[in-house]
Amino acid sequence: MVYIKCRDVVAKISDIIDHEASLMTRMRFYGHIMMCKNCRRYFDQFKEVHALAGKVTADDLPPDFEQVMGAVMDEIEGHKDA
Amino acid sequence: MQGTGVFQGDSDDLTALKAGDSDAWRVVLVRYGPSLLAYATRLLGDRASGEEITQDSLVNIYRTIDRFDGRCSLKSWLYRAVHNRAIDEIRRRKRYVDVGDQGLEDYFNAAGRWRHDCPGWDGLAAKQLDDKRLLGKVREQMDCLPHAHREVLFLKEVEGLDSAEICAALEISPGNLRIRIHRARAALRAAVVEA
């Protein structure tokens, strides 16, 4: 199997996470990760932060959300009546 | 079906929107309004500006709906409108934070190997923060990233848009999106783990 450098392993992590890497790339990637402590640590950190980013939710709706959308509806209905 | 990058709604819905049917527009506002408002607020950094930009954008979308040709999803088109308006406003205020030149290369030597040990936590068990505080830190750091990173992370990780929708919303190619997503995630990892 062709050797893959640490820099290239790190560059492929998003493709691995998003399941967009080819079978050969995955084999090289995980083969390298097994052997390289630093890349393994980076990969673990990257995966954990990625998982946490997925748990960030959109801000709660502001109390005047209805008012914000109401103003848009007023414009729409006003334009229609005009 | 999702992700084909074209208008997915009923053609009657689009006809109703173009005809100015207020019930059809109310459905759009209820369905997408909260997400668009959250997106604008995240980009601009404060709720009042987010509300103003979202309101302006939605009124403008209503006025220009005839230009929507259905080549992307309505959702992408809405995000694109809010995005462009928000970025214009950020640039007008001279607050646009561009992506710096510092990249991953700093970690590696000329041979492509780690120059030093990978910084940050040594394995998940060693982390000192509990999950709730860590999640708070991730959220805080997301809001501090350059806008180009923040927008792709928010659309992909928080709002869950698929790649085709994000490409259409930001008017970028799939290849460019992959690079930007990776750089944004790497920047977030560095901000959270190495800070």
**Helices B47-63 & A65-81, crossing angle to 10 degrees?**
20
Q: For B29-75, give the DSSP string.
A: HHHHHHHHHHHHHHHHSSHHHHHHHHHHHHHHHHHTGGG--SSS-HH
Question: For B135-152, what is the mean pLDDT?
Answer: 87
Question: For A17-35, what is the mean pLDDT?
Answer: 94
Residues whose CB is less than 8 angstroms from the CB of residue B66 and which lie 6 or more positions away in sequence, other chains included = B18
Least confident of A72-76, B123-127, B173-177: B123-127
Q: Do A49 and B117 touch (CB under 8 A)?
A: no
Find the closest chain B residue to A14 by CA distance.
Answer: B182
Q: What separation in angstroms does the CA of A16 have from each of A23, B18, B114? A: 10, 42, 20
Q: For A27-62, give the DSSP string.
A: HHHHHHHHH-HHHHHHHHHHHHHHHHHTT--PPPPP
Q: What does the pLDDT look like over B46-72, one tens digit per residue?
A: 888 899 999 999 999 999 998 888 888
Question: For B27-55, what is the mean pLDDT?
Answer: 89
Q: What does the pLDDT look like over A35-75, one tens digit per residue?
A: 999 999 999 999 988 988 888 876 666 667 788 788 888 88
Cα gap B190→B14, rounded to integer Å: 44
CB contact residues (below 8 A), chain B span 3-42, against chain A: 20, 22, 25-26, 29-30, 33-35, 37-39, 41-42
pLDDT at B145: 87
Q: Show residues of chain A in contact with B85, CB under 8 Å.
A: none
Cα gap B12→B18, rounded to integer Å: 10
Domains in chain B, ordered, with CATH?
A: 11-92 (1.10.1740.10), 123-193 (1.10.10.10)
Confidence of residue A1 (pLDDT cuts 50, 70, 90): low
Q: Show residues of chain A in contact with B190, CB under 8 Å.
A: none
Q: Do A46 and B108 touch (CB under 8 A)?
A: no
Q: Do B118 and A52 touch (CB under 8 A)?
A: no
- Mean pLDDT value across chain A: 86
